[in-house]
Amino acid sequence: MTTLRGNWNYPTAIRFGAGRIAELPDACRTLDMKRPLLVTDPVLAAMPMIESAVAACRSAGLACEVFSDVQANPIEANVTNGVAAYRSGGHDGVIAFGGGSALDAGKAIALMIGQTRPIWDFEDREDWFTRVNVAGMAKTIGVPTTSGTGSEVGRASVLTDLRDHSKKIIFHPKMQPALVIADPELTLGLPPHVTAAVGMDALSHNIEAYCAPFYHPIAEGVALEGMRLIREWLPVAVRDGGDIEARSHMMVASMMGATAFQKGLGAMHSLSHPCSANLNTHHGLTNAVVMPYVLAWNRAAIEDKMAPLAAFLGLRKHSFDGVLEWILELRRTIGVPQTLADLGVRDEHADAFCRQALDDPSTGGNPLPMSAEDFAQLYRNCIKGKLTGSDK
Ligand SMILES: [Fe+2]
């Protein structure tokens, strides 16, 4: 078997392979960090993997401290407090270490170190990223501990804005960590339901990027192989969390999803963000639930792309139906609930969330143009389990 290890420079410098977390002190030296602030979440902070990473840095002479005041679906205060910890500790770089929430918080903290504007001024709209004082950004190392978000190779952070309970995407091209250590051993302890939920987030990135109606063959090629790896290895990783080969391929598929979605996302993410922002549902799980309903909705616009996808994945039917049946079967196999009602979303939420969904930056990448009424209908489809297409 090919050795599942490599040093890659696309889309950023990635040291990939089991056990490579041991190279964290060397990665800090490579970026000339002597006093890194390790940003993680409180659950991980209590686990041996963080303890040993910090110990390794300290014994290599690095003044490494931990900041773990980061909640799931992080908020502005997590970033503000992290910036304060960075400044008071005299740090010179950030190690963003964890799942999507910790990675996004770490990247946002690194962005905000030298800024004078509020973070919401850097939302992913028009050319707002040009407002960033790039010289004031801290260097970042990304260390993922789940395989889903791909945030370690992404150029944005998703934060909940408590003023209107919406998810906002904070973007700057240089938010992509300068160096990533992608060690699949860090994901071995993830329980099956988390492995499933984050793995479906990776699938949603790959499939939404593949379907987004823009010209970007590079992203589409990455997305195709990302989906092939997920089809083959996600069920294995859920069934046997200790299978390092499955964990390795899922970690790469996750990075491929985030690489591909530079092309765009779509209505899966538009629908999902308001649910997480208001009801604190898990991002990947919510995407997994809405996935087949969004595909069915977009059917007329994506049908032509589904046949080559189905053929590449080796599905029985080389058609839209082949892809839809595979996704429904995959969801059953890995234990994803079938409807948004199962996540506590009700009809009255649909009416409230549809405007936020319309306003979500992901909406521009949906294969069909969407209105608030379309989103309300699509929410109801997801709540009731109706696989019907748009009548446009
Ligand atoms: Fe996502």
Q: Is the pLDDT of residue 244 over 80?
A: yes
Q: How far apart are CA 28 and CA 33, in angstroms?
A: 5
Using the mean position of ligand 1's atoms as its centre, give its distance from the Cα of residue 205 in Å. 6
Using the mean position of ligand 1's atoms as its centre, give its distance from the Cα of residue 123 in Å. 17
Using the mean position of ligand 1's atoms as its centre, give its distance from the Cα of residue 100 in Å. 9
pLDDT range class, residue 392, cuts 50, 70, 90: low
Using the mean position of ligand 1's atoms as its centre, give its distance from the Cα of residue 284 in Å. 6
Using the mean position of ligand 1's atoms as its centre, give its distance from the Cα of residue 283 in Å. 7
**Strand-pair category, 156-161 with 166-171:** antiparallel
Q: What is the pLDDT of residues 78-92, one digit of tens each?
A: 999 999 999 999 999
Q: How far apart are CA 291 and CA 270, in angstroms?
A: 11
Q: Element (H or E) spanning 193, and its range?
A: helix 192-211
Q: What is the pLDDT of residues 327-362, one digit of tens each?
A: 999 999 999 999 999 999 999 999 999 999 999 999
Q: Is the pLDDT of residue 1 over 80?
A: no
Using the mean position of ligand 1's atoms as its centre, give its distance from the Cα of residue 286 in Å. 9
Using the mean position of ligand 1's atoms as its centre, give its distance from the Cα of residue 88 in Å. 33
- pLDDT at residue 85 in the model: 98
pLDDT range class, residue 390, cuts 50, 70, 90: confident
Q: Is the pLDDT of residue 201 over 70?
A: yes
The pLDDT of 220-235, averaged and rounded, is 98
The pLDDT of 182-196, averaged and rounded, is 98
Average pLDDT, the chain: 97
**Number of neighbours of residue 379 by Cβ within 10 angstroms:** 26
Q: Is the pLDDT of residue 2 over 90?
A: no
Cα 210 to Cα 103, 125, 206, 265: the distances in Å are 24, 22, 6, 9
Q: How far apart are CA 203 and CA 285, in angstroms?
A: 11
Using the mean position of ligand 1's atoms as its centre, give its distance from the Cα of residue 155 in Å. 13
Using the mean position of ligand 1's atoms as its centre, give its distance from the Cα of residue 202 in Å. 7
Q: Is the pLDDT of residue 8 over 90?
A: yes
Using the mean position of ligand 1's atoms as its centre, give its distance from the Cα of residue 138 in Å. 24
- pLDDT at residue 358 in the model: 97
